[in-house]
Amino acid sequence: MAQPTPLMPHATASWLVDNTALSFEQISEFCGLHILEVQAMADDLASSKYTGRDPVHSGELTHEEIERGQNDTEYRLKMQKAPVDVSRTKGPRYTPVSKRQDKPDGIAWIIRNHPEISDAQIGKLIGTTRNTIQAIRERSHWNISNITPKDPVTLGLCSQRELDAAVARAAKKAAAGQPVEEVVVDENAPVRRDDREVLIEELKAERTASVAAAARAAQEAEAEAWLEAKRAAEAGEG
């Protein structure tokens, strides 16, 4: 059974590169990274700069374990204390700084495609305030001219499951508030699906296709970057 990786693999690898004499292979195996990623950190060629995280302080390694690895390049570091999974607590949803600028686009998409979802649900789903939602709904937001409706799932603001659950709850609440009318069913009449139901299914299919396309593009880009790095490393060795 493979041992768990550190809680923050890249930050841990960066610290080990800067503060130990461990080999790239030892660091990459312990952190669960490709050896070329570790080498890029050492050569200061990584596209992202990581603040080092001390695995000794977190209890994931000990000084003695690091010493064993430095004395024997064939030695494989052993995780001393597996990182504890962090579960989300109650409260406002945390959104990374890099994605906060995408919130208005996600809110506008929900307002346009799912008007049945309340402002309170949108706020909980995206992690925003009612004032912001109201401003976008009334088109009085300070940056309304630059807001383009985009799927919040594709933007990474929420998961597909969370969005589907919000839509289902809103639809159920809306149905519960409508008066019940007596309907005479003609058994010979063709079954006609509700237009809204059809629209929701079309939107779900469109969203699924866009997410799959984005995932494929990311995988292709990652593979291409890896191949380029490998070619560069081989050329350097030659």
Mean pLDDT of 23-50: 83
What phi and psi values does residue 4 have, to the nearest 5 degrees?
-65, 155
- pTM of structure: 0.39
Phi, psi of 211 (to 5 degrees): -65, -40
Residue type, 203: L
pLDDT in tens, 118-160: 998 998 888 888 899 999 999 999 999 999 999 988 888 888 8
For 156, phi and psi rounded to 5 degrees? 85, 20
Dist. CA 102–CA 127, nearest whole Å: 12
What pLDDT is stored for residue 40 in this prediction? 86
Dump pLDDT digits (tens) for 202-215. Answer: 777 777 766 666 66
Q: Which residues of 180-190 are buried (b: 16+ CB within 10 A; e: fewer)?
A: eeeeeeeeeee
pLDDT mean over 185-210:
61
Q: What are phi and psi of 77, to 5 degrees?
A: -60, 140
Residue 181 pLDDT class (50, 70, 90 cuts) = very low
